[in-house]
């Protein structure tokens, strides 16, 4: 909206009041000989700024990045009079302050870019900002407006050229400073997650809809698939009672019928299933139902899993959508096929080839090549450590801020036992594991691999 309002404002014609302000501030006396120089200068500047905004405003809307709007506003001051070869002329004394401001802003921008690179890593938005800043930094030192009157010109024309040159110098350095500083400080906004189409508000169960308070247990249909069968053995069972609103089977492309998705939350307070009649993935708890998707073909049905103490729901197929079941906001992770961990600091997901550690906005913090099937991943609640348990034998620890591996240990268990499960970190910051055969719990020193039995207190 801001970008759209900027274009009409920039298209306003050059008014007499604007020209009067310029002549008053510069001390220029306008005559019939030099008036056309002043009018042509402001008219051409407006035309170039409109061209830049016409290109940058759609880019701002597509990328949700305010930096491109700033660039469109100020680019005309820099590139309008660039000549090849550049004219290197002396800068007027009263413009040296602006050049020093430009150099200070450029230095600060470079420091900010270095910090972002070390803290967040390389991203497409950061590369685009850096490329524009480098171009501006390369152009500005050689684009020094002509601030000296031509000796052969009449005095009134020479004075107009001098006034316009001084103004061009000031605006050049101020515009360049605005671009490089905003390039380092402005980042793309987080677009509002689009709601899945055709959402329905939570509603009380219908008379023929099964309800529950807590899901003690659930089981899938036991009878063979058939279009015409409506026997109790065809229903999903929740707390040993039929759950007829859930679809029993789906038919994948080129495959045999298989059980439709049906998932219980870890706190046993909710289930997610494919609706038998509307073919939507539906969230249901004791308060009612909430549709998560539009009506789906069987081949497009994702795999639902609960994470983050049952608050978050991941719908995974070719990509993954993470839904917050408190606010119903959605985060999309392109290419993610499974979500392993969600906590207050971020999440861990895997694509076909990579393990990704992301923050809650979906921004990548670090990634690793995917390992063998069965590897498990653990992200500490403060996001400061990331642990990978490989093949039940080896434990690797990483720093998500830098992606650097901090340790690689292979703990030795009695009786040649192995790691059955990583239990995460205790309140005291100790990483715990449970063994596979004996199911004993140990504290694991991630730096040395030493094992210690937990303090019973």
Domain count, the chain: 3
21 & 68 share domain? yes
**Inside any domain, residue 323:** no
**Inside any domain, residue 43:** yes
8 & 116 share domain? yes
Burial 56-89 (b: 16+ CB within 10 A, else e): bbebbeebebbbbbbbbbbbbbbebbeeeeeeee
**Inside any domain, residue 59:** yes
Last residue of a domain, one of 166, 185, 204: 185
Would you give the end-to-end CA distance of the chain in angstroms? Answer: 60
The confidence score (pLDDT) of residue 212 equals 92
**Inside any domain, residue 325:** no
The confidence score (pLDDT) of residue 4 equals 60
Question: Is the pTM for the entire model greater than 0.85?
Answer: no
Last residue of a domain, one of 255, 284, 301: 301
27 & 159 share domain? yes
Rounded distance between C-alpha atoms, residue 160 and residue 340, angstroms: 68
**Inside any domain, residue 317:** no
78 & 131 share domain? yes
The confidence score (pLDDT) of residue 29 equals 74
Query: Which 3-state string (H, E, C) describes 59-89?
Result: HHHHHCCCHHHHHHHHHHHHHCCCCCCCCCC
**Inside any domain, residue 287:** yes
**CATH value at residue 370:** 2.130.10.10
How far out from the chain centre does Cα 171 lie? 34
- pLDDT truncated to tens, each residue of the chain (457 aa)? 665 666 565 556 666 776 677 777 777 777 777 777 777 787 777 788 888 888 888 888 888 888 888 888 888 888 775 543 334 344 555 667 888 888 888 888 888 888 877 777 778 888 888 888 888 888 886 544 444 444 455 577 777 777 777 887 888 888 889 888 888 888 775 555 555 555 555 544 444 789 999 999 999 988 776 654 556 678 899 999 999 999 999 987 777 788 999 999 989 999 999 999 899 999 999 999 999 999 999 989 999 999 877 888 999 988 999 999 989 999 999 999 988 888 888 999 999 999 999 998 889 999 999 988 889 999 999 999 999 999 889 999 999 999 999 999 999 998 889 999 999 999 899 999 999 999 999 999 999 999 998 876 6
Rounded distance between C-alpha atoms, residue 189 and residue 406, angstroms: 33
| Look-up of token digits 């759950």 | 243
27 & 146 share domain? yes
Rounded distance between C-alpha atoms, residue 128 and residue 116, angstroms: 13
62 & 210 share domain? no
177 & 195 share domain? no
The confidence score (pLDDT) of residue 376 equals 92
297 & 346 share domain? no
122 & 149 share domain? yes
Last residue of a domain, one of 282, 301, 320: 301
36 & 126 share domain? yes
Q: Give the residue from 333, 374, 373, 375 showing the smallest Cα distance to 357.
A: 333
Domain range spanning residue 393?
A: 335-457
The confidence score (pLDDT) of residue 232 equals 67
**Burial tier of 106 (Cβ tally within 10 Å: 0-12, 13-18, 19+):** buried
**Phi and psi angles of residue 331, each rounded to the nearest 5 degrees, phi first:** -120, 130
133 & 210 share domain? no
Contact 275, 260 (CB under 8 A): no
**Phi and psi angles of residue 323, each rounded to the nearest 5 degrees, phi first:** -115, 130
181 & 238 share domain? no
**Inside any domain, residue 315:** no
Whole-number CA gyration radius for the chain: 32
Q: Give the residue from 247, 223, 330 showing the smallest Cα distance to 295.
A: 247
**Inside any domain, residue 130:** yes
């Amino acid at each position: 909206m801001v970008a759209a309002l900027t274009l009409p404002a920039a298209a306003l014609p050059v008014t007499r009041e604007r020209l009067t302000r310029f002549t008053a501030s510069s001390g220029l006396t306008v005559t019939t000989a030099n008036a056309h120089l002043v009018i042509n200068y402001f008219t051409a500047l407006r035309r170039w700024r409109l061209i830049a905004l016409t290109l940058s405003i759609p880019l701002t809307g597509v990328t949700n990045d305010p930096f491109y709007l700033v660039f469109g506003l100020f680019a005309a001051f820099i590139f309008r009079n660039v000549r090849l070869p550049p004219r290197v002329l002396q800068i007027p004394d009263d413009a040296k302050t602006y050049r020093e401001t430009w150099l200070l802003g450029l230095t600060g921008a470079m420091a900010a870019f270095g910090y972002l690179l070390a803290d967040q890593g390389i991203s497409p938005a950061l590369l685009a900002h850096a490329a524009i800043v480098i171009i501006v930094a390369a152009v500005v030192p050689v684009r020094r407006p002509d601030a000296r009157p031509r000796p052969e010109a009449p005095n009134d024309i020479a004075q107009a050229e001098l006034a316009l040159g001084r103004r061009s110098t000031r605006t050049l350095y101020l515009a360049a400073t605005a671009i490089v500083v905003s390039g380092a400080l402005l980042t793309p906004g987080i677009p509002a997650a689009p709601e899945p189409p055709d959402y329905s508000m939570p509603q009380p169960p219908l008379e023929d809809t099964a309800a529950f308070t807590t899901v003690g247990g659930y089981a899938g249909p036991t009878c063979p698939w058939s279009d015409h069968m409506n026997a109790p053995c065809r229903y999903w069972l929740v707390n040993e009672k039929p759950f007829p609103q859930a679809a029993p089977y789906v038919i994948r492309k080129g495959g045999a019928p298989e059980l439709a998705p049906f998932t219980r939350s870890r706190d046993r307070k909710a289930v997610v299933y494919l609706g038998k009649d509307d073919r939507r993935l539906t969230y249901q708890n004791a308060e009612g139902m909430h549709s998560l998707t539009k009506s789906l073909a069987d081949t497009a049905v994702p795999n639902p899993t609960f994470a983050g103490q049952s608050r978050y729901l991941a719908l995974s197929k070719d990509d993954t959508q993470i839904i917050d079941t408190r606010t119903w906001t959605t985060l999309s992770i392109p290419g993610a096929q499974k979500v392993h961990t969600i906590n207050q600091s971020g999440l861990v997901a895997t694509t076909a080839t990579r393990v990704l550690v992301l923050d809650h906005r979906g921004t990548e913090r670090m990634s690793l090549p995917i390992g063998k099937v069965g590897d498990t991943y653990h992200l500490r609640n403060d996001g400061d450590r990331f642990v990978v348990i490989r093949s039940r034998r080896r434990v690797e620890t990483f720093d998500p801020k830098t992606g650097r591996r901090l340790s690689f240990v292979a703990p030795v268990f009695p009786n040649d036992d192995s790691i059955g499960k990583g239990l995460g970190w205790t309140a005291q910051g100790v990483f715990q594991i449970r063994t596979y055969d004996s199911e004993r719990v140990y504290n694991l020193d991630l730096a040395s691999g030493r094992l210690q039995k937990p303090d019973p207190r």
